[in-house]
């Protein structure tokens, strides 16, 4: 069916920022529609490190961002507690970390409003026995782990409650202008069906992250994005109970985040010309493991489940220095609200770029304040006061909650599809009730299917059967797409035990299921899956 709609504001991008913008617009009474070219949260928001920043990482390099992080850290704990595991965090000085950084750290934290409490080393090693015994100082900060998929879903659900709409698998491919030159419509393409359509609107907000330069170019505006690829490694268990950061200027392999049943070591930072380039190289894996040894000795021989990467939505601030452009005096250095009407003569287009996932709500507030004012809407922002809807499954991190959820869906008799992440058939059916067109990779994002130690080797055939019962014929392409994405994440870490497991899962998929021979029907595969091939 050809897409057609008429709204006040089109939001481009279904990551944390776009979902936050949609919610904020809808809560202020504006008719808003979000379009996302892939699945929701399939961009950088679903490929990040998992950390609700306290801001302490940025106290030296970017104090404005540090302040934003600590303020939003408190807001998110209030409005979205079910998406946060309050692990706490440590900043630790290893023998290689600079003395002067250590000396300045407490006062820099105090200046940014971040509580940093010195922790005696015996207490640190009691709490975190795997940490490097050569660590010579430690501070406790309010870092935490933050679940991005549920956070984005909660924002979209809240937006819908206030009248907002969101379409996934709809890519923006162009814009239309009225007689005065202002944007009047957005042209979209259904990425699964191929049809094109038009959404008539008064204003467009591009929350397309690292792709914001490409989206601006479609409208004839320029935006100097400088995507920074960051790679991370997922280990098969939690090695620490809290987030652990090195007490040094940001580098590779210097943060370890416990997330659900695993932990994530990251990140590298490499400028790439194309934000879709998220392939992890063997050199990056080596760099992460080498530097990770400073935090947890022996980590380089621990079992890595998967490597993945995301593109930082970095904005080249020198772009602001172009003569005639005065935003640099008005906007924050942490994130940037760009009015392309004033800047490039493209009336009705706004971009929101930079920032962190931790600060998505603040970014949304700032751009919606500007857009609302341009549309003469005076309703103030309420997103910091009104709590987000809690996920149906309860707190996802605590085993007790996960087992209780299992009891609700049949207890000991529940049909377990994914043993690692305790995903039941009922849970999958519920996810398919909500989004019937989901692929297996989409279900991974909504249910955590296949995210545990077996990485889908055992659960995917069962999940494919559930999917096929719903949409006969859907399983083949979806299984191939899932496999491509999983194997992309294991190629650069294929050695030792992990190589043996790769052989096993390749045997199951290629041998038992003959997946290499499955007929492929492209519309079933998500954008991410297509990119992975």
Ligand X SMILES: Cc1cc2nc3c(=O)[nH]c(=O)nc-3n(C[C@H](O)[C@H](O)[C@H](O)COP(=O)(O)OP(=O)(O)OC[C@H]3O[C@@H](n4cnc5c(N)ncnc54)[C@H](O)[C@@H]3O)c2cc1C
Inter-residue contact 138 to 118 (CB < 8 Å): yes
Q: Judged by CB under 6 A, which stretch of 202-210, 279-287, 326-334, 413-421 contacts ligand X? A: 202-210
Q: Which of 169, 211, 148 is nearest to 20 (CA)?
A: 148
Q: Smallest gap, in angstroms, from Cβ of residue 406 to ligand X? A: 29
- Pick the closer one to ligand X by CB: 258 or 355: 355
Query: Which of 267, 294, 439, 490 is close enough to bind ligand X by CB under 6 A?
Result: 267
Per the structure block, which two tokens stand in for 13?
């991008």
258 binding ligand X? (CB under 6 A): no
- Pick the closer one to ligand X by CB: 64 or 408: 64
Inter-residue contact 154 to 391 (CB < 8 Å): yes
- Pick the closer one to ligand X by CB: 208 or 294: 208
Query: Which of 209, 348, 427, 450 is close enough to bind ligand X by CB under 6 A?
Result: 209
Q: Which of 159, 162, 171, 161 is nearest to 199 (CA)?
A: 171
| Residue with the shortest CB distance to ligand X | 15
35 binding ligand X? (CB under 6 A): yes
Whole-angstrom distance, CA of residue 418 vs CA of residue 425: 9
> Which sign does the torsion angle of CA 243, 246, 251, 252 carry?
negative
- Pick the closer one to ligand X by CB: 286 or 468: 286
42 binding ligand X? (CB under 6 A): yes
Q: Judged by CB under 6 A, which stretch of 122-130, 209-217, 438-446, 498-506 contacts ligand X? A: 209-217
Q: Smallest gap, in angstroms, from Cβ of residue 82 to ligand X? A: 18
Whole-angstrom distance, CA of residue 241 vs CA of residue 244: 9
Whole-angstrom distance, CA of residue 234 vs CA of residue 307: 6
- Exposure string for 90-129, b = 16+ CB within 10 A, e = fewer: bbbbbeebeeebbeebbebbeebebebeebeeeebeebbe
Whole-angstrom distance, CA of residue 20 vs CA of residue 135: 39
User: Binding pattern to ligand X, positions 313-342, x when CB under 6 A?
Assistant: x-----------------------------
76 binding ligand X? (CB under 6 A): no
Inter-residue contact 258 to 87 (CB < 8 Å): yes
Q: Judged by CB under 6 A, which stretch of 101-109, 110-118, 125-133, 306-314 contacts ligand X? A: 306-314
Query: Which of 5, 10, 15, 226 is close enough to bind ligand X by CB under 6 A?
Result: 15
Determine the size of the site formed for ligand X (CB under 6 A). Answer: 40
Residue corresponding to tokens 């089109």: 10
- Pick the closer one to ligand X by CB: 334 or 457: 334
- Pick the closer one to ligand X by CB: 228 or 427: 228
Which residues contact residue 361 at a Cβ distance below 8 angstroms, ignoring those fewer than 6 apart? 20, 24, 72, 75, 76, 79, 383, 384
Q: Judged by CB under 6 A, which stretch of 12-20, 91-99, 432-440, 465-473 contacts ligand X? A: 12-20
Query: Which of 55, 142, 292, 310 is close enough to bind ligand X by CB under 6 A?
Result: 310
16 binding ligand X? (CB under 6 A): yes
Q: Smallest gap, in angstroms, from Cβ of residue 27 to ligand X? A: 18
89 binding ligand X? (CB under 6 A): no
Whole-angstrom distance, CA of residue 197 vs CA of residue 189: 6
Q: Judged by CB under 6 A, which stretch of 79-87, 194-202, 356-364, 462-470 contacts ligand X? A: 356-364
Q: Smallest gap, in angstroms, from Cβ of residue 527 to ligand X? A: 7
369, burial (CB in 10 Å: exposed 0-12, middle 13-18, buried 19+): middle
Q: Smallest gap, in angstroms, from Cβ of residue 473 to ligand X? A: 27
Q: Which of 13, 20, 15 is nearest to 34 (CA)?
A: 13
Whole-angstrom distance, CA of residue 340 vs CA of residue 82: 37
Q: Smallest gap, in angstroms, from Cβ of residue 63 to ligand X? A: 16
User: Binding pattern to ligand X, positions 169-188, x when CB under 6 A?
Assistant: --xx----------------
Inter-residue contact 360 to 17 (CB < 8 Å): yes
Whole-angstrom distance, CA of residue 308 vs CA of residue 280: 6
Task: Give, as one character, the DSSP assignment of residue 347.
Answer: T
Query: Which of 132, 358, 409, 439 is close enough to bind ligand X by CB under 6 A?
Result: 358
Query: Which of 28, 53, 202, 488 is close enough to bind ligand X by CB under 6 A?
Result: 53
Binding site for ligand X (CB under 6 A): 12-18, 35-38, 42-45, 48-51, 53, 171-172, 207-211, 215, 230, 232, 266-267, 310-313, 355-358
């Amino acid at each position: 069916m050809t897409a057609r709609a008429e709204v006040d504001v089109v939001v481009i991008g279904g990551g944390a920022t776009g979902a936050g913008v949609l919610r904020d617009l809808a809560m202020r009474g504006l008719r808003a529609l979000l379009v996302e070219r892939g699945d929701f949260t399939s961009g950088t928001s679903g490929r990040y490190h998992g950390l609700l920043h306290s801001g302490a990482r940025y106290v030296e390099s970017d104090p404005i961002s540090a302040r934003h992080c600590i303020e939003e850290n408190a807001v998110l704990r209030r409005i979205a507690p079910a998406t946060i595991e309050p692990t706490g965090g440590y900043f630790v000085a290893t023998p290689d970390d600079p003395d002067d950084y250590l000396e300045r750290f407490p006062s820099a934290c105090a200046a940014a409003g971040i509580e940093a409490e010195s922790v005696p080393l015996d207490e640190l090693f009691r709490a975190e026995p795997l940490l490097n015994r050569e660590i010579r100082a430690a501070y406790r900060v309010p870092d935490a782990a933050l679940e991005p998929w549920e956070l984005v879903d909660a924002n979209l659900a809240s937006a819908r409650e206030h009248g907002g709409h969101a379409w996934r698998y709809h890519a923006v491919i162009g814009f239309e202008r009225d007689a005065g030159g202002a944007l009047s419509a957005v042209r979209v393409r259904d990425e699964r069906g191929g049809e094109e359509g038009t959404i008539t609107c008064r204003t467009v907000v591009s929350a397309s992250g690292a792709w914001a330069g490409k989206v601006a170019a479609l409208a004839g505006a320029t935006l100097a994005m400088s995507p920074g690829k960051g790679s991370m490694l997922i280990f098969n268990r939690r090695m620490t109970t809290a987030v652990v950061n090195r007490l040094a200027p940001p580098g590779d392999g210097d943060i370890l985040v416990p997330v659900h049943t695993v932990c994530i070591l990251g990140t590298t930072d490499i400028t790439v010309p194309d934000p879709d380039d998220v392939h992890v190289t063997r050199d990056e894996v080596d760099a992460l493991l080498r530097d990770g040894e400073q935090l947890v000795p022996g980590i380089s021989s621990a079992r890595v489940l998967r490597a993945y990467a995301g593109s930082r939505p970095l904005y080249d601030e020198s772009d602001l220095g172009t003569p005639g452009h005065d935003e640099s005096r008005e906007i924050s250095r942490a994130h940037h609200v760009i009015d392309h009407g004033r800047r490039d003569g493209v009336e009705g287009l706004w971009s929101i770029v930079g920032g962190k996932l931790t600060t998505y709500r603040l970014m949304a507030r700032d751009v919606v304040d500007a857009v609302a004012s341009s549309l003469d809407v005076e309703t103030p922002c309420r997103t910091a006061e009104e709590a987000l809807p809690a996920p149906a499954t309860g707190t996802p991190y605590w085993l007790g909650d996960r087992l209780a959820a299992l009891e609700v869906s049949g207890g000991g008799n529940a049909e377990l599809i994914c043993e690692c992440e305790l995903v039941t058939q009922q849970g999958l059916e519920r996810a398919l009730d909500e989004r019937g067109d989901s692929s297996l990779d989409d279900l991974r994002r909504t249910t955590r299917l296949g995210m545990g130690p077996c990485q889908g080797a055992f659960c995917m055939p069962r999940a494919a059967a559930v999917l096929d019962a719903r949409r006969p014929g859907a399983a083949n392409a979806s299984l191939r797409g899932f496999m491509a994405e999983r194997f992309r994440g294991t190629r650069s870490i294929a050695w030792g035990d992990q190589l043996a497991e790769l052989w096993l899962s390749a045997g199951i998929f290629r041998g038992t299921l003959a997946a290499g021979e499955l007929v492929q029907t492209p519309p079933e595969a998500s954008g991410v899956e297509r990119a992975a091939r």
